[in-house]
Structure 1
Amino acid sequence: MEDQSRRQFLQNAGLASLTSVSGITSGPERNKELFVQHIFFYLKEPNNAQHEAQLLEGLHKLAKSSYIQFAHIGKPAHTTGSDIVRDYSVSWMCFFKNIIEEEIFKSHKIYHDFIAGYAHLWERMVIYDSVGPRKVG
């Protein structure tokens, strides 16, 4: 079986499993819109460089998932402005082909290993999800 068709088969099988156990629907709008997730991590010890390095290590591992189209890992920028929020430790922004890909991603071992191995480092995280067209303009 060709790699791409094997991947498509596994993806469809995963989606079928998710749909059967979680009630996920796969309407056309869920396939067409780009899905972006931006997570802000607040470390329990924000000044602990070792904990920050561990979280960054975990996010870099997570970014290798084939379901993620693009990932950006960052820290607060030194910019000015009264409306700029800089109280988080690390940000993680990732782009998925669609919301279904993100839901499949969250069912995989790499995601569960990340949560199990690194969740003890943060006291909270804030998640922003958005959907929209693949191209603007």
Structure 2
Amino acid sequence: MKKVSRRSFLEKSSMVLASAAAITAIPASAQAAQAPSMFVHHVYFWLKNPSSKPDHAKLLKGLQSLTSIEAIKTSHIGVPADTNRPVIEKSYQFSLLLIFNNRQDQDTYQTHPTHLKFVEDCSNLWTKVIVYDSVNA
């Protein structure tokens, strides 16, 4: 093991502490501006026949096909969780959460042939769809 003089140790420690202080001195607004951009697309589906197993299976298969679109960074297909609090909405049958790097990738997704085919093949299954799009605050 290499011997380190007290002076060398203190000099290096001072530089590390000064660097840490400089990083934490950056205003929160500047740190937020440096955060990677993100576009979140969250879709909720209400089926015409919520108790129909074939309709559930067809919509699930359609939703799974969407996850192959290259513009999507992260995806999640969900159903209502078994939670009960007054603020929880559980009347939907499926949710689709898609995360994109930016708005342009989400726009690409909207016109992608796989997405257009999904809408064509599955739109007859639902009575209601709600979309929540959000970006970094």
Shorter-chain TM-score above 0.5: yes
**Segments of 4+ moved more than 6 angstroms:** none
CA drift of 1:124 comes to 1.0
Deviation at 1:43, TM superposition (A): 0.3
Between Structure 1 and Structure 2, how many residues are aligned?
Answer: 103
RMSD across aligned C-alpha pairs, in angstroms? 1.4
Select 2:39's aligned residue among 11, 23, 35.
35
Contact 1:69–1:94 (Cα < 8 Å) also in 2: yes
Cα distance per residue 1:104-136 (max 9 Å; x no partner): 111111111111011100011010000017xxx
Match of 2:57 in 1: 53
For 2:135, the aligned partner's letter is V
CA distance in 1, matches of 2:90, 2:112: 31
Letter of the structure 1 residue corresponding to residue 91 of structure 2: D
TM-score, normalised with respect to structure 2 = 0.72
CA distance in 1, matches of 2:37, 2:133: 12
Q: 2:77 aligns with which of 69, 73, 79?
A: 73
Q: 1:97 aligns with which of 98, 101, 119?
A: 101
Normalising by structure 1, what TM-score?
0.72
Give 1 or 2 for the bigger CA radius of gyration: 2
Write the distance in 2 (CA, Å) between the matches of 1:80 and 1:122.
24
Q: Structure 2 CA distance, aligned partners of 1:39 and 1:57?
A: 16
Deviation per residue, 1:31-79 (Å, 9 max, x gap): x620001100000001111101100000101111101011100000011
The one-letter amino acid paired with 1:52 is H
Asked if the contact 1:33/1:99 (under 8 Å) is kept, the reply is no
